[in-house]
Structure formats: C-alpha cells, structure tokens
Amino acid sequence: MIRQANEQDLKALARLEGRSFQNPWTIENIQQDLKVNPFSTILVDEEDGRIRAYLDLWITFEKAQIARIATDPEFRKQGLAKALIQKGIEMAQEQQAEEFSLDVRVSNQPAIALYESMGFIILHRSKNYYEGKEDGLLMAMGI
C-alpha cells in the first residue's frame, strides 16, 4: 500500500536509507523534508507494517523532482519503485507540474534502465557529482 509518510516512519526511513545508500541521509535530513520543507512529499510503500520503499518528491511550481528514492534490498525488482514514481507523477500532474526529473549515479544501471523504461531521458552528465568521485546523470520527462 502506498501512503504518505508520517513522523512515526522516521526510524524506518533512516534504516532504509542506511541499507540503500553509500551516503545515507540522517534522520534529521528526512525529518526536515517530512515536517519543514513545504515542497516535499514523502510516500512510502508499506506491507504488513514494514516500509519496503519510499520516495521523497519535491514539487515546486511547474517542476517535480525526486529528491530520494529507495527500495529495501530484500524487495528490489518487484516494481515498488516504479509504483512510487507513477504515484509521484500523478501527484505532480494534479499540481500542474510540467517536468519530472531526478539525479542518478552513472553506475546505477538498474535504476537508469527503470527510468528509461518509464520515459525519462538523459539531459545532462555532471562530472564527479557524487562525493567528487562519480558522475551523475540528470534525467527528466515531460508530464
């Protein structure tokens, strides 16, 4: 089930970050987007009380951007990220956004393949975008 995150989800989201990223966001970073950032919406995929994936979406006027997306390693390749992105696109369309974008590591080929299958295209490659060591791709689609 996809739903909006709440404050009770913070610890689970921080654990998911730690399992998913080389440089995970802290619980404070997540809390900032959940409680303070007026442009942020955090969606979670939850089953049997366990958060399996999440999406942090920023919608600012005509642009929507995925700030974070993660799927627990135990639940990857089950379409959870795709479902969250589709829900995010619906939300962005409801708020009349015209563009949907994200940044991704060039080494994250499974994610790039997913995004391309959904209609995202590569707009730009940023040298040493991640920790000054790895290039990043800006990918976007019109909605």
87-128 pLDDT tens trace:
999 999 999 999 999 999 999 999 999 999 999 999 999 999
pLDDT at 98: 97
pLDDT at 87: 98
pLDDT at 24: 96
Task: Say how many C-beta atoms besides its own lie within 10 A of residue 30's C-beta.
Answer: 25
Among 3.40.50.300, 2.20.28.90, 3.40.50.720, 3.40.630.30, name the CATH number for the domain at 2-102: 3.40.630.30
Q: Give the contacts of 90 (CB within 8 A, at least 6 positions apart).
A: none
Interatomic CA distance for residues 114 and 84, integer angstroms: 12
> Tokens 């369309």 appear where?
93
- Domain range list for the chain: 2-102
Name residues of the chain where pLDDT drops below 70: none
The helix-helix angle for 80-94 and 109-117 (nearest 10°) equals 50
Q: Give the contacts of 68 (CB within 8 A, at least 6 positions apart).
A: 17, 25, 54, 55, 56
Residue 76 in contact with residue 35, Cβ under 8 Å?
Answer: no
pTM, full prediction: 0.95
pLDDT at 133: 94
